Structure 1
Amino acid sequence: MPKTPGKCIAVFAKHGASHRQDSWRTVVELLLKNQFKVLVSDSMLNARNAAAAEKAAVGFKFASIEEIRKKADYAVIMGGDGTFLGNARKLADTHIPLLGINQGRLGFLTDIRSDDIDPTLIETLNGDSISESRHYLTGQLLRNGKVIADHIALNDVVISRGIVGGMVELRVEVDGHFMYDLRADGLIVSTPTGSTAYALSADGPILHPSLAGIVIVPVAPHALTNRPIALPQHCSITITVTGGKQTGVHFDMHTNERAKVGDQVRIEVSQKPIHLLHPGRYDYFAMLRQKLHWSATPTEVGHRTRGLRDSGHAK
């Protein structure tokens, strides 16, 4: 693919980052040097640094999410998976490809290491890349048949017990068919993307991102026979709260709602995917080996990872 100078790149950094912070400014300068137009999300600003940041903006512009949604061709998100998820939801119904730079701990979604930004970022934006679509969940909280909350989640929707009281009690239905009643600490409804997050820690299976499916994973169920189950992507899942106190409904653990007994949570997979952009050397299984510490003694690999030891999925 030919180089694409002049394309507009939106840069997202963690909220409250300093306008003098080297990391995101280094990325902006690298993009400008390679003739890209740059918009930096104003979501990183706070009241104390906004004025100073505006003055320091040379060659780029701080922009609202509305302007970014209209003008950006790509979005570069700097931070951990939480920062990536938060900004991905803001761009969920656009066709803007998302590319992550890892400044967090694990970084399942942020492919480029902070010490490998140059030249990997520019190579990826100029076409040495792998494009991938990921579907997200839409979740509605209903009370007396009326929708009182409506959110999306790229990782998972979690129904959990409150900090006071015992287990949460739930009735789970799939496409109108009763599946089971559950007493547990909670229930996770996860996308393949989220299968390496909370669902994995609750003994759920890992789903390859290309699989069109949903995973339902009980958290510490009262009956040990309640096991995780994978369902087709087209399913509609309805979860009714039948017991428990201060039951919480969490969307990517970012947005939280409180559910009462009798409330329902309706979850479906969105028909509009989120588009991710990986470096050309991206290897999903190398990523899993690195992040989950598979293979205690890494072996030499002789393909597109430049013949180096298996130490990173985007090295």
Structure 2
Amino acid sequence: MPKQKGMCIAVFAKHGASPKQAIWRSVVDLLAANAFQVLVCDSMLNSGSSRKSKPECDEANFEFANLALIKKKAKIAVIIGGDGTFLGTARELADCNIPLIGINQGRLGFLTDIRLDDINPTLIDTINGQSVSENRAYLEGQILRQGKVVENHIALNDIVISRGIVGGMVELRVEVDGTFMYDLRADGLIISTPTGSTAYALSADGPILHPSLAGLLIVPVAPHALTNRPIALPQHSTIDIHVTGGKQTGVHFDMQFNGRAKVGDQIRIKVSPHPIQLLHPERYDYFAMLRQKLHWSASPTEAPHKTRGLRDSGHAK
């Protein structure tokens, strides 16, 4: 996407971030210096804060804005934080088709791939079109009770059905496209996108799916029968999970929003028809990212020329 003079860029930071915080303010200053209009999402403010109570933030190079205004005006969103901040923001913007760029202020950063020491000039270059654009899938999850939808949410990584705090296993009946697959007794069940295959699903011995694959993962968590193994399904599949036993069964969306399912409830999961668009730096390399985050080994003599000598993320300049 080429730069447009005065194009509106939204900036998101972790909730409760200080208005004086150097990192997000430096990002705002960089964007403003390059003639972008900047909106900073006011969700980062503490509940007791207000825009007018922060005179040090009332500068001409940005303004605080609510989510509705950002959805209306912003052309790109820049998210500063870890993967959790990115996931939460991505869900909030799921219905408006705004491309997302992540700046890693967390630990792993599978989704936030611009490092803090690479913000200038990598961020501006990425916005100006020196980027790799990638579409990824959301999951839609419904909890149905007596045939009626009682909860309806989305997730970018995964939807997890898990046992409650009182202990015991969940008991589930799993169907795919109306066909019975198996009955499961386990600590939980993960339904994951390729994006989420490097998250909780990986910890439960699920495979890594390349983001370009159109697929879904079903990964049992500590199943009672060890023959219940992870399975990859086509992206168009509809997965119905019937809760047949267990107490206080939880339904977790990206492990950030928690719902409850009762015995007899049905959880229906499918891929959303509306994808998310990520903008990576021009030299983004998925396998270089995996090598860094998962500590895979690599021989310098085997590295391809375009990434040889670059730092871990594969896009540093």
Superposition TM-score tier, normalisation by shorter sequence: over 0.9
> For 1:54 and 1:268, how far apart are their aligned partners in 2?
46
Correspondence for 2:64? 62
TM-score by length of 2: 0.96
Matches within 5 A, 1:175-214: 175-214=177-216
Q: How far 1:309 sits from its partner (Å)?
A: 4.3
Q: How far 1:60 sits from its partner (Å)?
A: 0.8
Instruction: Say yes or no: does 1:52 pair with 2:67.
Output: no
Task: Give the counterpart letter for 2:220 in structure 1.
Answer: P
Correspondence for 1:295? 297
Q: Is the contact made by 1:75 and 1:98 (CA closer than 8 Å) also made in structure 2?
A: yes
Correspondence for 2:256? 254
TM-score by length of 1: 0.96
Q: Is the contact made by 1:24 and 1:78 (CA closer than 8 Å) also made in structure 2?
A: yes
Q: How far 1:308 sits from its partner (Å)?
A: 1.7
> For 2:146 and 2:232, how far apart are their aligned partners in 1?
29
> For 1:64 and 1:299, how far apart are their aligned partners in 2?
50
Q: How far 1:2 sits from its partner (Å)?
A: 4.7
Q: How far 1:157 sits from its partner (Å)?
A: 0.3
Correspondence for 2:95? 93
> For 1:142 and 1:54, how far apart are their aligned partners in 2?
48
Q: How far 1:52 sits from its partner (Å)?
A: 3.4
> For 1:79 and 1:291, how far apart are their aligned partners in 2?
16
Summarize the Cα distance change of 1:301–1:150 in structure 2 as closer, same or farther, 3 Å threshold: same
Q: How far 1:65 sits from its partner (Å)?
A: 0.5
> For 1:156 and 1:20, how far apart are their aligned partners in 2?
34
Correspondence for 1:8? 8
Q: Is the contact made by 1:299 and 1:310 (CA closer than 8 Å) also made in structure 2?
A: no
Q: Deviations over 1:121-170 (max 9, x none)?
A: 00100110000000100000011111110000000000000111311100
Q: Is the contact made by 1:283 and 1:314 (CA closer than 8 Å) also made in structure 2?
A: yes
Aligned with 1:123: secondary structure?
Answer: helix
Q: Is the contact made by 2:249 and 2:261 (CA closer than 8 Å) also made in structure 1?
A: yes
Task: Give the counterpart letter for 2:179 in structure 1.
Answer: H
Matches within 5 A, 1:1-315: 2-50=2-50, 51-53=52-54, 56-58=57-59, 59-295=61-297, 301-305=303-307, 307-315=308-316
Q: Is the contact made by 2:284 and 2:313 (CA closer than 8 Å) also made in structure 1?
A: no
Q: Is the contact made by 1:152 and 1:251 (CA closer than 8 Å) also made in structure 2?
A: yes
Unmatched 5+ stretches in structure 2: none
Aligned with 1:231: secondary structure?
Answer: strand
The alignment's C-alpha RMSD in Å is: 1.4
Summarize the Cα distance change of 1:187–1:119 in structure 2 as closer, same or farther, 3 Å threshold: same
Q: Is the contact made by 2:31 and 2:124 (CA closer than 8 Å) also made in structure 1?
A: yes
Q: Is the contact made by 1:54 and 1:62 (CA closer than 8 Å) also made in structure 2?
A: no
> For 2:48 and 2:148, how far apart are their aligned partners in 1?
41
Q: How far 1:54 sits from its partner (Å)?
A: 5.9
Q: How far 1:312 sits from its partner (Å)?
A: 1.9
Task: Give the counterpart letter for 1:119 in structure 2.
Answer: P
Q: How far 1:93 sits from its partner (Å)?
A: 1.6
Task: Give the counterpart letter for 1:84 in structure 2.
Answer: F
Task: Give the counterpart letter for 1:15 in structure 2.
Answer: H
Q: Is the contact made by 1:290 and 1:313 (CA closer than 8 Å) also made in structure 2?
A: no
Task: Give the counterpart letter for 2:314 in structure 1.
Answer: H
> For 2:55 and 2:41, how far apart are their aligned partners in 1?
12
Q: How far 1:302 sits from its partner (Å)?
A: 4.8
Summarize the Cα distance change of 1:302–1:20 in structure 2 as closer, same or farther, 3 Å threshold: same
> For 2:54 and 2:270, how far apart are their aligned partners in 1?
41
Summarize the Cα distance change of 1:299–1:36 in structure 2 as closer, same or farther, 3 Å threshold: farther
> For 1:2 and 1:157, how far apart are their aligned partners in 2?
35
Q: Is the contact made by 2:2 and 2:127 (CA closer than 8 Å) also made in structure 1?
A: no
Q: Is the contact made by 1:192 and 1:214 (CA closer than 8 Å) also made in structure 2?
A: yes
Q: How far 1:13 sits from its partner (Å)?
A: 0.3
Summarize the Cα distance change of 1:226–1:19 in structure 2 as closer, same or farther, 3 Å threshold: same
Give me the identity figure in percent: 73
Q: Deviations over 1:70-111 (max 9, x none)?
A: 100000000000000000001112121000000001000001
> For 2:247 and 2:10, how far apart are their aligned partners in 1?
43
